[in-house]
């Protein structure tokens, strides 16, 4: 069964974003660099194209992603009309500071006190929008948390007399059609924890990392991973870390092992890895 998560406040946020889109100049869409296209909300693209607004794609958390894959995604987006892409880590103020200037290149006619640049920042939950906002304004105006859907109301902020920025709550789309996308979103914690099974997501993540980044798994957990599948890796982690089910003959607790793997991945303890490339994305959506 595919993973679905669409809290009630997101429908209101979508309607509010549609109204705001009419009075802004550039959409700043924050993506997760580990899965840029999988973390791109098609509703945002639909809204901006309807209003013919250019888009700056911010591939955030680039310090957690495979740099070669990230560059492939930058090239992918920069080939699209009306789109510019940049990779950064919003935890670094110097990198975040580049964003307004890049937006100006997409709307050069909006660069004065009479015609200030109006930016709208959007994205799915937990991709770092609030951290980026705090960096822009050089003060903590948005609560930041590891759980998705921390921000629930749209807010407008004036950066200076030539720029303003409106922040929109994290917005998913009502139905996640591709089950693999749902698993990837759960792996990066863009979906509420009550909407998925940790073992299922952990097994998916384990299989993906085994196929693409086996060496960091061996380095982290201290055993060879050749020949293992996703379920086998979870079982091996459980044994290595002493995660055993009580009252069940000491069976490996794969659910607990999945929690360990997911936490390590989200915290960057498995090195710089990407869950999708432009090529694997194309293969995934091709019937």
Here the CATH number for the domain that contains residue 244 is 1.10.1580.10
**What's the number of domains the chain is made of?**
2
Predicted local distance difference test score (pLDDT) of residue 168? 84
Decide if pLDDT at 149 tops 80.
no
Question: Quick one: 46 and 152 in the same domain?
Answer: yes
Domain assignment of residue 188, yes or no: no
Give residue 110's domain range.
8-167
Bridge pairing between strands 155-160 and 163-167:
antiparallel
Predicted local distance difference test score (pLDDT) of residue 148? 47
Decide if pLDDT at 80 tops 90.
yes
Share of the chain above pLDDT 90, in %: 62
224-258 burial string, b = 16+ CB within 10 Å, else e? ebeebebbbbbbbbbeeeebeeeeeeeebbbbbbb
Predicted local distance difference test score (pLDDT) of residue 63? 95
Predicted local distance difference test score (pLDDT) of residue 5? 65
What is the chain's mean pLDDT, rounded? 88
**Using CA atoms, how far apart are residues 94 and 30, in angstroms rounded to an integer?**
17
pLDDT confidence bin for 7, thresholds 50/70/90:
low
Q: Which of 167, 188, 205 is the last residue of a domain?
A: 167
pLDDT confidence bin for 9, thresholds 50/70/90:
low
């Amino acid at each position: 069964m595919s993973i679905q998560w669409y809290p009630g406040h997101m429908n209101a946020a979508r309607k509010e974003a549609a109204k705001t889109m009419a009075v802004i100049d550039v959409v700043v869409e924050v993506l997760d660099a580990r899965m840029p296209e999988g973390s791109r909300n098609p509703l945002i693209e639909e809204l901006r194209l309807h209003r013919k607004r250019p888009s700056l794609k911010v591939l955030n958390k680039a310090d957690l992603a495979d740099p070669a894959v990230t560059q492939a995604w930058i090239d992918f987006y920069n080939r699209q009309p009306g789109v510019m892409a940049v990779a950064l880590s919003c935890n670094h103020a110097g990198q975040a500071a580049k964003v307004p200037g890049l937006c100006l290149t997409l709307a050069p006619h909006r660069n004065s006190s009479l015609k200030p640049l109006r930016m709208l920042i959007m994205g799915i939950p937990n991709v770092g929008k609030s951290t980026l906002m705090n960096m822009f304004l050089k003060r903590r105006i948005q609560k930041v948390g590891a759980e998705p859907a921390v921000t629930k109301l749209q807010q407008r902020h004036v950066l200076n007399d030539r720029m303003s920025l409106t922040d929109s709550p994290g917005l998913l789309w009502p139905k996640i059609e591709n089950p693999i996308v749902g698993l990837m979103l759960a792996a990066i914690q863009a979906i509420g924890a009550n909407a998925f099974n940790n073992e299922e997501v952990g097994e998916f993540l384990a299989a993906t990392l085994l196929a693409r980044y086996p060496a960091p798994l061996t380095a982290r957990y201290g055993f060879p991973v050749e020949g293992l599948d996703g379920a086998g890796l979870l079982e091996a982690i459980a044994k290595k870390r002493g995660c055993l089910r009580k009252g069940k003959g000491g069976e490996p607790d794969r659910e607990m092992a999945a929690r360990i793997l997911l936490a390590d991945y989200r915290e960057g303890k498995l090195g710089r890895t990407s869950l999708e490339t432009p090529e694997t994305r194309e293969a995934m959506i091709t019937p």
